Amino acid sequence: MLEAGPIQILVNNAGIHDDAIFPGMRWEQWQRVLDVSLGGFFNVTQTLLLPMLATRWGRIVTISSAAALAGNRGQTNYAAAKAGLHGASRSLALEVASRGVTVNVVAPGIIASTMSAESFDARRISELVPMKRAGTPDEVAKLVAFLASEDAAYISGQVISINGAML
């Protein structure tokens, strides 16, 4: 417990990618990506959950990826790790629902960033995204802020895509 009280809102946003086609993927690549996404979720969420349960209020929002829903060439490890977060979050939502804690996942598609700029030029984004543009970090942040608010008290166990109608 912190001096000012427990942490009541948790946003799990850990993730890395170490891409390779599956037949050529090394075990270390597989394990490292799963360790960061799923291990990070476990380590942080388990540590902060009991105080939320004690106060009967909490919000857990985990950032995933559209790759968990649709797959992505060369990212079997990343898609598996992010999809694992969906199952873990849905199960945890069932466990804590009666204690006032909500658990949801946000699955962004292509979001404007340095990393996405390296992978997707404007033409490719226009081909992939029906809205013909990348999302913005601010759009993702506003969705996360809503899910962390009292206004989202009855939303739990959901995977919410924010992807310009990609899926």
Q: Would you list the domain boundaries of the chain? A: 9-162
Do the Cβ atoms of 164 and 135 come closer than 8 Å? yes
- Which 8-state DSSP code applies to residue 4? T
Question: The whole model's pTM is what?
Answer: 0.95
pLDDT tens figures, 130-167: 999 999 999 999 999 999 999 999 999 999 999 999 96
Exactly one of 62, 78, 159, 164 is catalytic; which is it?
Answer: 78
pLDDT tens figures, 66-120: 999 999 999 999 999 999 999 999 999 999 999 999 999 999 999 999 878 888 8
Angle (CA) 158-100-139 rounded to 5° is 40
Of 24, 21, 13, the C-alpha closest to 75 is 21
What CATH class is the domain 9-162?
alpha beta
Residues making up the chain, counted from first to last:
167
Q: Mind spelling out the 3-state secondary structure of 18-78?
A: CCCCHHHCCHHHHHHHHHHHHHHHHHHHHHHHHHHHHHCCEEEEEECCCHHHHCCCCCHHH
154 catalytic, yes or no? no
Query: How far is Cα 148 from Cα 165, in angstroms, rounded to an integer?
Result: 23
Q: Mind spelling out the 3-state secondary structure of 74-115?
A: CCHHHHHHHHHHHHHHHHHHHHHHHHCEEEEEEEECCECCHH
